[in-house]
């Protein structure tokens, strides 16, 4: 009986001690999203006129936050011209900003960029390939036709089916980027 009483006292002491010792006052450190893609830049340079550069840009500085991306296009594309295209995916929520395109190129087998234009006169060819010889789509050639206004969708898929027939529906995978640019050809 006496041992019983003692053990209850010991238990109570252990309990109180461990509760007292558990308060933590560590500061909470900020986490900046590392894989966030805030910015999509598509730079198109006229093959015959190096000064004809058009930049399509979408910036969503708060990532999953409530603000919608801000889309800017520096000007129209010229009709019946050929442009070299380069796409960049950036995380500008951290300083210095991170170029996520490098990871996309490193893991080219697990990524593919898709470009879909409602202007059927604009034809887009992917000129880079992954190690299996399948298209990647960071480097492209844009061939414009007649004048008009249309929408260009730029979609980055992670772990798509490769090879695919070039359509979004056959590629599957997860969409990491899906941005629509309304652009003009004149």
Q: Name the site residues for another protein (rule: CB under 8 A).
A: 1, 4, 7-8, 11-12, 14-16, 18-19, 22-24, 26, 28-35, 37-40, 58, 60-69, 93, 100, 103-104, 106-107, 110-111, 116-118, 120, 150-153, 155, 157-159, 167-169, 172-180
**What is the closest distance, in whole angstroms, from the C-beta atom of residue 137 to another protein in the complex?**
15
What's the min distance (Å) between Cβ of 50 and another protein? 28
Residue 169 CB, nearest distance to another protein (Å)?
A: 6
Nearer to another protein, 51 or 169 (CB): 169
Nearer to another protein, 52 or 92 (CB): 92
Q: SS in 3 state form for the chain? A: CHHHHHHHHHHHHHHHHHHHCCCCCCCCCCCCCCCCCCEEEEEEEECCCCCCEEEEEEECCCCCCCCCCEEEECCCECCCCEEEEEEEEEECCCCCCEECHHHHHHCHHHEEEEEEECCCCCEEEECCECCCCCECCCEEEEECCCCEEEEEEEEEEECCCCCCCCCHHHHCCEEEEEEEEEEEEC
CB of 80 to another protein, least distance (A): 20
Q: Residue 54 or residue 104: which is nearer to another protein going by CB?
A: 104
């Amino acid at each position: 009986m006496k041992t019983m009483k003692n053990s209850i006292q010991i238990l109570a002491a252990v309990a109180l001690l461990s509760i007292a010792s558990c308060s933590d006052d560590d500061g909470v450190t900020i986490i900046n999203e590392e894989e966030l893609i805030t910015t999509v830049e598509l730079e198109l340079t006229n093959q015959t006129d190096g000064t004809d550069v058009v930049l399509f840009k979408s910036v969503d500085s708060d990532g999953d936050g409530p603000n919608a991306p801000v889309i800017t296009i520096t000007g129209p594309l010229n009709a019946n011209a050929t442009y070299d295209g380069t796409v960049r995916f950036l995380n500008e929520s951290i300083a210095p900003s991170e170029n996520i395109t490098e990871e996309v190129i490193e893991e080219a087998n697990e990524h593919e960029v898709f470009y879909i234009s409602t202007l059927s006169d604009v034809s887009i060819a992917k000129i880079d390939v992954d190690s299996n010889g399948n298209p990647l789509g960071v480097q492209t050639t844009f061939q414009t036709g007649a004048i008009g206004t249309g929408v260009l969708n730029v979609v980055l898929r992670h772990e798509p089916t490769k090879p695919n027939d070039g359509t979004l529906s056959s590629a599957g995978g997860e969409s990491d980027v899906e941005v629509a640019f309304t652009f003009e050809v004149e």
